[in-house]
């Protein structure tokens, strides 16, 4: 049975080795952020390295999330969400919110945060930047979904804040 990579490449293309693909894509530096949403009073969060600006007019942002994740399920019920672009000293936050098996309830108890101004989703304290968004489109893409959001509020952290980059399986601070 063909894999998702085989189907995407087309019927005449040789299959792409998944380990080789993972290793090669690991050399693509990616910014690290946390996406949060609140459903029925419970905050849900996950670390992502797939946030991108889509448009300035209107302001749009996107991120991708595994189609089977808890956060993706929550996004079916709630259209407001927030993105915190993690600062260079927040690797521990990125690691915690990427940990498999972390509790669904209370996962932000150890992470200082405030409510975003429109959605109320948590903005992680000390981040380099924040976005408050509303879902305008979701597109299936292999085993992930691409979520596009209209930006409803934005803020920046301290001028000296750097960022986090995911590269070769590690999170690294950059300034």
Placement of tokens 């915690």 in the chain = 96
What is the reported pTM?
0.90
Per-residue pLDDT, 1: 39
Phi, psi of 80 (to 5 degrees): -100, 135
Per-residue pLDDT, 4: 53
CATH code that applies to domain 33-156: 2.30.110.10
In the chain, where the domains are located: 33-156
How far is residue 20's CA from residue 42's CA, in Å, rounded to a whole number? 38
Q: Is 98 helix (H, G, I), strand (E, B) or coil?
A: coil
Give the pLDDT confidence of 9-20 residue by residue, as tens digits.
Answer: 667 788 999 999
Give the pLDDT confidence of 127-141 residue by residue, as tens digits.
Answer: 999 999 999 999 999
How far is residue 146's CA from residue 155's CA, in Å, rounded to a whole number? 23
């Amino acid at each position: 049975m063909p894999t998702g990579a085989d189907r995407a490449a087309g019927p005449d293309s040789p299959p792409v080795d998944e380990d080789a693909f993972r290793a090669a894509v690991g050399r693509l530096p990616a910014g690290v952020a946390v996406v949060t949403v609140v459903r029925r009073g419970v905050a849900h969060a996950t670390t992502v390295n797939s946030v991108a600006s889509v448009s300035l007019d209107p302001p749009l942002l996107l991120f991708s999330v595994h189609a089977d994740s808890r956060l993706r399920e929550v996004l079916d019920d709630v259209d407001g969400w927030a993105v915190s672009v993690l600062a260079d000293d927040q690797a521990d936050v990125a690691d915690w919110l990427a940990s498999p098996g972390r509790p669904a309830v209370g996962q932000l108890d150890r992470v200082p945060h405030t409510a975003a101004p429109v959605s109320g989703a948590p903005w992680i304290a000390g981040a380099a930047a924040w976005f408050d968004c509303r879902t305008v489109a979701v597109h299936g893409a292999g085993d992930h979904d691409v979520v596009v959001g209209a930006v409803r509020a934005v803020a920046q952290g301290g001028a000296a804040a750097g960022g986090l980059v995911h590269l070769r399986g590690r999170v690294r601070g950059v300034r």
